[in-house]
Structure 1
Amino acid sequence: MTSFRMGWSLRALIAIALPALAMVGGPAQAAKMETLEIATQTGVHVFSVEIATTEKERETGLMYRKELADGQGMLFDFRPEQQVSMWMKNTYISLDMIFIRADGRILRIAENTEPMSTRIIASGGPVAGVLEVAAGTAKKLGIAPGDRVGHPLFKGR
């Protein structure tokens, strides 16, 4: 009976401590996950995205992440629509940056961005949001300027 209690206590301690340890040393994540759809000529593609709405979340973005799974990404909320500049400082993985107008239309795509670069990547016009996904996603799925993004952040949903 004693060993069962010790085992249970140890399991309880691990269950409580591991999430706390992960938060201390790991990269920050945006507060919530949502679904986003992109309608292309090849069909509708669904993503699970973290939403970066606060200044701190937008500044941190996907920095320090070692991987980004297919079908996942981060959506940066820059409302109201404005010129946006991004960079890859402290970002270890190459990304596709999809710049999206307030009406949900894709304005521009910066494909296969260079990890760790401080080179400025400009939106090329006013946008309400930027979607970052794993490099090569836009080409693989046929995502192109003019395609429509479905998400509550955009009016054209």
Structure 2
Amino acid sequence: MTEPRWLDSEEMAAWYAFLEASHLVVRRVEQQLREQEGLSHPQYEILVRLAAEPAGEMRMSELAEHVVTSKSGLTYQIGRLEKAGLVRRRSCPGDDRGVYAVLTEDGHNTLRRAAPGHVALVRSSLIDVLGREQLATLAAGLNAVTRELRAKGED
């Protein structure tokens, strides 16, 4: 059995910084969305992803991949959004197993109300804290991690 490649002090500092910052930002975002609109962060992200589509809808399997969750996890969140009247499901023509999630008018309205506060929080918690060069470096680094993990099928 080979010895693990332990993290050196610089690597450990980067890992701890990533963990702490990501937990703090996510916690603030969750709290703000729950207080403002009664949404979880995954639910908000689902609404955003659907709103970004020209028809306001997306196949459930594709949506699960975009929000990085299991199909059952997405089904649960869509069910909650459906009960709130923010999303509806429709079957996929020609594919009995295919289902689309569709953003409703109430979903659009909820997103319009939630977005300004959400963006302000994202700005104050992350974007405005970093300079342009730091943002570019952060985006490039995290995109590299995403590409690597997706290529390995770890999404």
TM-score category, normalised to shorter length: under 0.3
Point out the structure with the larger strand share: 1
